[in-house]
Structure 1
Amino acid sequence: MSPIKNKFWPKGVPATGTVPHVTLPHYLETAALRYPEKTAIVYCGRRITYRELKQYTDAMAGFLQQKMQLGKGDRVLLMSQNCPQFVIAYYAVLQLGAVIVPVNAMCTTSEIQYYMSDSGARCAFVAQELLKQLAPCMQSNQEGGLQHVMVHAYRDFVEDLDDPDLPDFVKHGSDFALTDGMVLFSDALNAGLVAEPVQTGPDDFCVLPYTSGTTGKPKGCIHTHATLLGSLVNSAIWRHLHAESVMLSVAPMFHMLGMQNGMNMPIMLGATLIMMPRWNAGLALKLMEKHRVSVWTAPPAMVLDCFSQADALQRDLSSLALLSGGGAAMPEAIAAMLKERFGIVYNEGYGMTETASFLHCNPVENSKRQCLGIPTQGVDSRIVDPATLQELPQGEVGELITSGPQVMKGYWQNEPANKESFLERDGRIFFRTGDLARIDEDGYFFMCDRLKRMINVSGYKVWPSEVENTFYDHPAIHEVCIVGIQDSVKGETVKALVVLKPEYEGKLSAQELIAWARENMAVYKTPRLVEFVDELPKSNTGKIMWRKLQAEQNNPLGEKA
């Protein structure tokens, strides 16, 4: 069965997109030829043109090849906050036919050790403040460790070190001693080396991002230039993006959301990206106004934080034409506020590391709130029974399986996981997402929850996301996370961890909130427990860390979950 166009399918968008038969570095080269003096990146006041970005990338590729002997297929760790060096390293490695292994900047030494060993990486790029976590993984400290480490300082690309908006970590200079195997990023750029051409193609393996490891060890996702471009090209057409778009880039680039939307997308288009090294809501508003940002992709928690700022209404955000994202449903109350106060419709989409971000999306002109949207160009998604894998009727909740050009080629060196995660149907290979969803009468997909997040209350299924979205309708709620608490009688009990808006602190009791919830949802879904907290822990991409909270709530004394 081929993908079927929805009746709300956006006009002018083909049912099946054509994935260009080129590589990602092709687009950087093309942008440098087309727009040599156009601003590619604005970073902490510094403007970098496409001509300069290409020159930096070529210089780095030359050093990697000539001095580090980096070759086609070699894996390279990349661990840094957002900065120009991240972009340069990424495209230089891909230019040589090698593979980027993005590493979360919050990773510990043992986690880096795992990524290094599992991927077989022998080279790494690292920001200087993260060197202490990575250094123990070098060959000088352990057998089979990293042979070459390139270290960069954020300040090397900063225009004005006295800028009051600069985070402290960006101002620090190269205040560490180089050991064997280490080299400064700036020295590599200044070496003036030229790389011999490497034959690369669209089906070459180029990026190996790791999943979050919710069950067992994290798994590497094999992505090619074609799978990444399958996501990028179709997203650009769907969302009317073009070379004159100005994009705010703040989601971490080591995560697929930031990598694809905040780096690869603008470079593919020859557009301009306004780069923030780390999230700062007040600064984001200032930059959007100053640089006339037209596109911003961010998770709901980041959007909520931004538009909750006291001066949000005073900022001129009239240039902002598209605000999009995913990772969690945008609460109805927040979406309504964006529409009412700013005239902005949050364009929700759905994707994951395994699908290079963009997979489903709401048509820009026909969006539904708290919705995964519809399968995009060339994507065939279905709802099946998680146990039998039989397709379910419209409206029933089951596991979402999908097939499309952006789906990864498989998990790295993990055949058992591949056997569990892929299935063949109607001549296509489908990926099991592990997400529970349903399809409404218009063909739109709605997330119910992760397959493993469901709370079982006396046999009744409770989807935390549904309860959370209802809670956001209450005027006092700033943020909320619903978790399941082990219960010897009911199996599990629903608990709400709530952050109140400042004006409601001390004025709303847990019992009052529970009573309100009983009036707005089925009794079995209503939290029996409510705890007010100052804040909820979040990942680097702004997602509330519900797994961590659930583990802590069920292990209050700190036992291992």
Structure 2
Amino acid sequence: MFDRHYAVWPENMPRHLSLPQTSLYTNLEVSALRYPHRDAINYYDSPITFAELKQQVDALAGYLQSLGVEKGDRVLLFMQNAPQFIISYYAILRANAIVVPVNPMNRAAELEHYLQDTEAAVAICGQELLPAVAPVVGMVNLRHVIVAAYSDYITRNTDLPLPAEVEAPAVALNSPAHIAWKDAIGAGETPRELLVGPDDLAVFPYSSGTTGAPKGCMHTHGSVMATCVQGSAWIHGTTESVTLATLPYFHVTGMQGSMNSPIYGGSLIVLMTRWDRRVAATLIERYKVSRWVNIVTMAIDLLSDPDVEQYDLSSLENIGGGGAAMPAAVSDKLFQLTGLRYMEGYGLSETIAGTHINPTDNPKSQCLGIPVFDIDSRIVAVEEDGQTGRELGPGEVGEIIIHGPQVFQGYWKRPQETQKAFIELEGKRFFRTGDLGYYDEEGYFFIVDRVKRMINASGFKVWPAEVESLMYRHPAIQESCVISTPHPRRGETVKACVVLRNEMKGTLNEQAIIDWCKEEMAAYKVPQVVEFRDELPRSSTGKVMWRALQEQEWAGEQEQRAC
């Protein structure tokens, strides 16, 4: 068991947590029993109590069963953040079925993969996404689509600017396969017996991985419960905590940190459908938000608002997340404004969110943190054939592997890929993350890069994330994404796609960035090519899509060779 980090373990924090041996739905049931009149959700100033939430979850669960949903069936949940997402999620679980959360940016052609893979007969979607779902009704098993209008849950007047999707009234549905949300909830169906427990499958978040089509990560009620409970305990969550939910719920970090953990703890979720930095600041001030789980780009955007100091953010007790390393300069500005350090963490779809988190009383910047409760994490060498080798010590770069209660069961219907994803060490089954990293003498883990994201420049191995981190020190650079580019002698070399700060645009050229890099890093790491861009491509969760830039770069080389 890796225990080097116990020397910096948070004071008065147990090293082991006993997890509830119940379903996730039971968390809602218990909170509704304990705090029936307490607000569970506040949606743009419109509240929903725990009792109301449970009542609607049960009604929808009964309706899903009336449509033929049985234990172990998969149900697609294709929606932006809204009360209906939370209700649907727990209703699917109450119906003894499995939630398949789908990125709302997907369109019909992409949905085909999820339908073929899961054989889902029922989907629940936001009405703005119906045009993407309608063409695939009848494909494989899909027969029913429950359609939700977010405006149904704006029950009180608000001075907040609402996203267009939230303002839009419910539209008329013109297909017998399309079922209005209000009709499903109002049908008065009662769910049958709850049959699922900790060992039953609960959620299939899909992981894009490094190649191929997205793969469903099979999580049980028990593995989802693990990070739900652990995350709450790590930040000392209580019934009085107030969580600002800005990360998308289809993604595991938002799902766990901003939905499942607050429901487990009986605390309030202040919910946003779309990111808006001034709405976020207003909600923090208005509802005394104490916890905000986000990605670094959201924190950067909030702090970039010239009027941010006009808002009272003093209620915040914990700000953290991941998606990218937090630049030191931004972290310092956050500290000056709130007195808080950004709490970086690390997790994957395969671990249903965090396995490593920085200690609240002793964080390190640009660091994954330390393994949390009951996590055994190691660093192992990666051999030339991609296989894992011997276990490594402090400061040695290798693949991060993880054993713990939140590790998934495997990839849905992909036994060979599941087998490749695990190794055995000291009698334990460890998940191979595919991430390169190391730990220091105190047991803090640091990421270097993906195993597949390494630039081999004449035999010198360059880790793009390291170069990016170094480039953030340049005062003119707002963002940087490092990729490989073809080189006639080296085979490949380093290229940096750079977004300059607005006030610095036009004041320096690409060569000036290269010259600065030569002063800051080893010669083999220095970008040989710098390309200025207005923005970098991002996924729906805000992460920079480095692979898209990489593929674009090499596609140009292939076209030239073809000519």
Q: Counterparts of 1:226 and 1:254 in 2: how far apart (Å)?
A: 19
1:50 matches 2:46? no
Whether the aligned pair in 1 keeps the contact of 2:77 and 2:102 (CA below 8 Å) is yes
The corresponding residue for 2:453 is 453
Whether the aligned pair in 1 keeps the contact of 2:294 and 2:320 (CA below 8 Å) is yes
1:395 matches 2:391? no
14-23 or 81-90, which deviates more: 14-23
Alpha-carbon distance, 1:329 to partner = 1.4
Q: Counterparts of 2:262 and 2:156 in 1: how far apart (Å)?
A: 25
The corresponding residue for 2:38 is 38
The corresponding residue for 2:29 is 29
Q: Counterparts of 1:220 and 1:287 in 2: how far apart (Å)?
A: 34
Deviations 1:314-350 (A, max 9, x none): 2111011100112221122221221233311011111
The corresponding residue for 1:433 is 433
1:189 matches 2:185? yes
Q: Counterparts of 1:525 and 1:478 in 2: how far apart (Å)?
A: 20
Look up the SS of the partner of 2:354 in the other structure.
coil
1:216 matches 2:212? yes
The corresponding residue for 1:513 is 513
Letter in 2 for 1:276: M
1:229 matches 2:218? no
Letter in 2 for 1:413: K
Look up the SS of the partner of 1:351 in the other structure.
strand
Q: Counterparts of 1:19 and 1:394 in 2: how far apart (Å)?
A: 31
153-162 or 366-375, which deviates more: 153-162
For residues 372-521 of structure 1, the aligned pairs below 5 Å read: 372-387=368-383, 388-521=388-521
Deviations 1:339-393 (A, max 9, x none): 2333110111110000010101111111111111111111111111122421122
Q: Counterparts of 1:135 and 1:494 in 2: how far apart (Å)?
A: 44
Whether the aligned pair in 1 keeps the contact of 2:355 and 2:375 (CA below 8 Å) is yes
The corresponding residue for 1:199 is 195
1:115 matches 2:114? yes
1:259 corresponds to which of 242, 255, 269: 255
Task: Give structure 2 stretches of 5+ with no counterpart.
Answer: none
The corresponding residue for 2:359 is 363
Whether the aligned pair in 2 keeps the contact of 1:396 and 1:439 (CA below 8 Å) is yes
Alpha-carbon distance, 1:159 to partner = 3.0
Whether the aligned pair in 2 keeps the contact of 1:435 and 1:449 (CA below 8 Å) is yes
Look up the SS of the partner of 1:306 in the other structure.
helix
Distance 1:81 1:494, change over 3 A: same
Distance 1:148 1:558, change over 3 A: farther
Aligned residue-pair number = 556
The corresponding residue for 2:137 is 138
Letter in 1 for 2:537: P
116-125 or 156-165, which deviates more: 156-165
Distance 1:69 1:3, change over 3 A: farther
Alpha-carbon distance, 1:166 to partner = 0.5
Distance 1:545 1:395, change over 3 A: same
Q: TM-score, normalised by structure 2?
A: 0.96
Alpha-carbon distance, 1:180 to partner = 2.4
433-442 or 494-503, which deviates more: 494-503
Alpha-carbon distance, 1:14 to partner = 2.1
The corresponding residue for 1:89 is 88
1:555 matches 2:555? yes
1:336 matches 2:332? yes
Q: Counterparts of 1:4 and 1:557 in 2: how far apart (Å)?
A: 46
Whether the aligned pair in 1 keeps the contact of 2:5 and 2:370 (CA below 8 Å) is no
Whether the aligned pair in 2 keeps the contact of 1:256 and 1:356 (CA below 8 Å) is yes
The corresponding residue for 1:309 is 305
Whether the aligned pair in 2 keeps the contact of 1:72 and 1:97 (CA below 8 Å) is yes
Deviations 1:492-540 (A, max 9, x none): 2211111111111111221222211111111111112212211112111
154-163 or 445-454, which deviates more: 154-163
Q: Counterparts of 1:554 and 1:466 in 2: how far apart (Å)?
A: 22
Whether the aligned pair in 2 keeps the contact of 1:464 and 1:482 (CA below 8 Å) is yes
Q: Counterparts of 1:557 and 1:163 in 2: how far apart (Å)?
A: 52
Whether the aligned pair in 1 keeps the contact of 2:45 and 2:157 (CA below 8 Å) is no
2:168 corresponds to which of 149, 172, 195: 172
Deviations 1:265-306 (A, max 9, x none): 110111101110011122211211111111011111111111
314-323 or 467-476, which deviates more: 467-476
The corresponding residue for 1:13 is 13
Alpha-carbon distance, 1:558 to partner = 10
Letter in 2 for 1:522: A
Task: Give structure 1 stretches of 5+ with no counterpart.
Answer: none
Look up the SS of the partner of 1:42 in the other structure.
strand
Look up the SS of the partner of 1:149 in the other structure.
strand
Look up the SS of the partner of 1:274 in the other structure.
strand
Whether the aligned pair in 1 keeps the contact of 2:320 and 2:342 (CA below 8 Å) is yes
Letter in 2 for 1:59: A
Q: Counterparts of 1:420 and 1:376 in 2: how far apart (Å)?
A: 25
1:156 matches 2:152? yes
Whether the aligned pair in 2 keeps the contact of 1:327 and 1:351 (CA below 8 Å) is no
Whether the aligned pair in 2 keeps the contact of 1:495 and 1:530 (CA below 8 Å) is yes
Q: TM-score, normalised by structure 1?
A: 0.96
For residues 66-81 of structure 1, the aligned pairs below 5 Å read: 66=66, 68-81=67-80
Alpha-carbon distance, 1:119 to partner = 1.2
484-493 or 432-441, which deviates more: 484-493
1:348 matches 2:344? yes
Whether the aligned pair in 2 keeps the contact of 1:3 and 1:379 (CA below 8 Å) is no
The corresponding residue for 1:325 is 321
For residues 273-288 of structure 1, the aligned pairs below 5 Å read: 273-288=269-284
Letter in 1 for 2:471: F
Alpha-carbon distance, 1:460 to partner = 1.1
Q: Counterparts of 1:150 and 1:289 in 2: how far apart (Å)?
A: 35
Whether the aligned pair in 2 keeps the contact of 1:73 and 1:97 (CA below 8 Å) is yes
Question: Taking every aligned residue pair, what percent have the same amino acid on both sides?
Answer: 47
Letter in 2 for 1:547: R
Whether the aligned pair in 1 keeps the contact of 2:119 and 2:141 (CA below 8 Å) is no
Whether the aligned pair in 1 keeps the contact of 2:94 and 2:191 (CA below 8 Å) is no
Whether the aligned pair in 2 keeps the contact of 1:3 and 1:15 (CA below 8 Å) is no
Whether the aligned pair in 2 keeps the contact of 1:148 and 1:182 (CA below 8 Å) is yes
Letter in 1 for 2:189: L
Letter in 1 for 2:476: A
Distance 1:361 1:164, change over 3 A: closer
2:143 corresponds to which of 140, 147, 150: 147
Alpha-carbon distance, 1:163 to partner = 4.8
Alpha-carbon distance, 1:2 to partner = 6.5
Alpha-carbon distance, 1:553 to partner = 2.4
Look up the SS of the partner of 2:456 in the other structure.
strand
Letter in 2 for 1:401: I
The corresponding residue for 1:300 is 296
Deviations 1:436-485 (A, max 9, x none): 00111111111000111111122111111111111212222221111111
Look up the SS of the partner of 2:216 in the other structure.
coil
Alpha-carbon distance, 1:198 to partner = 2.4
Deviations 1:380-417 (A, max 9, x none): 11111122421122211000111000000111111110
For residues 243-254 of structure 1, the aligned pairs below 5 Å read: 243-254=239-250
Whether the aligned pair in 2 keeps the contact of 1:292 and 1:319 (CA below 8 Å) is yes
